[in-house]
């Protein structure tokens, strides 16, 4: 299976939504908790050009990453759902 990374924050409801979908679909992923300060999210910004979370990085996605919880959830269900 491809390597999947989730950039998120523990206190972010949108991140929580994506973690729940990943767990329900039993998808393995690496969680990368970004710094609380948006100014310190250089790694995330270098990949996506923005600082918001959640961001899903998936080599199988045509763009390599997705940055909206609704879009991420739809993508995960379509790609990894039964």
Ligand X SMILES: N[C@@H](CCC(=O)N[C@@H](CS)C(=O)NCC(=O)O)C(=O)O
- Return all residues near 30 (Cβ < 8 A) that are at least 6 apart: 3, 4, 5, 6
Q: Is 44 in the site for ligand X (CB under 6 A)?
A: no
**Which alpha helices (H) appear in 25-57, and where do they start and end?**
42-48
Options 23-31, 46-54, 57-65, 74-82: segment touching ligand X (CB under 6 A): 46-54
Q: How many CA atoms lie within 13 A of 43 on its CB side?
A: 11
Q: Which of residues 51-80 bind ligand X (CB under 6 A)?
A: 51-54, 68-70
Residue nearest ligand X (C-beta atom): 52
Residues 1-40, one symbol each (x = binds ligand X by CB under 6 A, - = not), give: --------x--x-x-----------------------x--
Q: 8 near 32, Cβ under 8 Å?
A: yes
**What does the binding site for ligand X look like in residue numbers (CB under 6 A)?**
9, 12, 14, 38, 51-54, 68-70
């Amino acid at each position: 299976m491809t390597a999947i990374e989730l950039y998120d924050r523990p206190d972010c409801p949108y991140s929580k939504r994506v973690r729940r979908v990943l767990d329900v679909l039993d998808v393995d992923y690496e969680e990368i908790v970004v710094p609380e300060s948006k100014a310190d999210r250089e790694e995330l910004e270098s990949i996506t050009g923005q600082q918001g979370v959640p961001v899903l990085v998936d080599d199988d996605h045509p763009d390599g990453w997705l940055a909206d919880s609704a879009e991420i959830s739809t993508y995960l269900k379509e790609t990894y759902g039964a």
